[in-house]
Amino acid sequence: MTARIDNTHVSGGSGATAPVRVIAVDDHPLTRRGVAEELGEDARLEVLGTFPSFGAVPLPLRTPSQVKVAVIDLAVRHETRGVESVALVSSWGIPSVVYTMHGSAIIRDEALRAGALGFVSKSAAGGELVTAVLEEAGRHGVALEFPPPPEPTTCCGRGCNGCVWEGYYTALNGWREDARALLEAPAILADQVKNP
């Protein structure tokens, strides 16, 4: 399920729609950077910050007057497990979108019952990223000869330091940057193919 964040309720006196103010909480630094980058590319959203834990979120950002949506992981090391994350953010009065490596329907349903607006599996998001890059390459007539990294199959689901998903997202980000470089310089690529 992909969450839809609707900003029609956030309008100023002039009738102009202000961006939806978002925070993200995830204990993996690479994931926080990726979420901030992904959300920050959409003009309808304003990322106010990303935080390694719920305790690290400054008190002013724990209010619905400042933050409209929190993108949260279900397992934040040393703080919450499972839908406790949703309940904690709900206690602040802020709706949440769960972004997690736990993709089971049972966990998704529990998160949604606990009040999450949406549930996005990190593996699904990675696949969506790959698809988007491939489609963009195709529109520019660039055939990407090298495949994206394979998704991990050995995650234990405990939110470990050095999780296999961290390695995957590092590799995926490198693949995406290589693909972006190819898209930005198709003439250079064509020359390299002709004159290796």
The CATH number that applies at residue 166 is 3.40.50.2300
Q: What is the pTM of this model?
A: 0.61
Of residues 120, 130, 138, the one with CA closest to residue 169: 130
Question: What is the C-alpha separation between 103 and 194, in angstroms, rounded?
Answer: 44
Indicate whether 106 belongs to any domain. yes
Q: Is residue 194 part of a domain?
A: no
CA 194 to chain centre: 38
The pLDDT-based confidence of 121 (bands split at 50, 70, 90) is confident
Asked if residue 8 is part of any domain, the answer here is no
Residue 195 lies in a domain: no
The answer to whether position 96 is within a domain reads yes
**What percentage of the chain has pLDDT greater than the value 70?**
71
User: pLDDT (tens digit, 9 = 90+) per residue, 88-104?
Assistant: 999 998 888 888 877 77
State the DSSP H helix or E strand holding residue 134, giving kind and residue range, or none if neither: helix 122-139
Q: How many domains would you assign to the chain? A: 1
Give the residue with greater pLDDT, 194 vs 103. 103
What is the extent of the structural domain holding 138?
20-187
The helix (H) or strand (E) run that includes residue 29 is helix 29-40
For residue 26, being part of any structural domain is answered with yes
Strands 45-51 and 20-25 come out as parallel
| Nearest CA among 79, 117, 101, 107 for reference residue 158 | 101
Residue 66 lies in a domain: yes
| Chain segment 23-53, per-residue pLDDT in tens | 999 988 988 888 888 888 777 888 999 999 9
Give the SS3 label for residue 180.
helix
| Nearest partner of 29 among 56, 5, 52, judged by Cα | 52
- Residue 123's region, left for phi above 0, alpha for psi from -120 to 50, else beta, is alpha
The single residue listed with the structure tokens 């996005």 is 120
Q: The tokens of 11 are what? A: 């309008």
Q: What is the average pLDDT score of the chain?
A: 75
Asked if residue 193 is part of any domain, the answer here is no
Residue 159 DSSP class: -
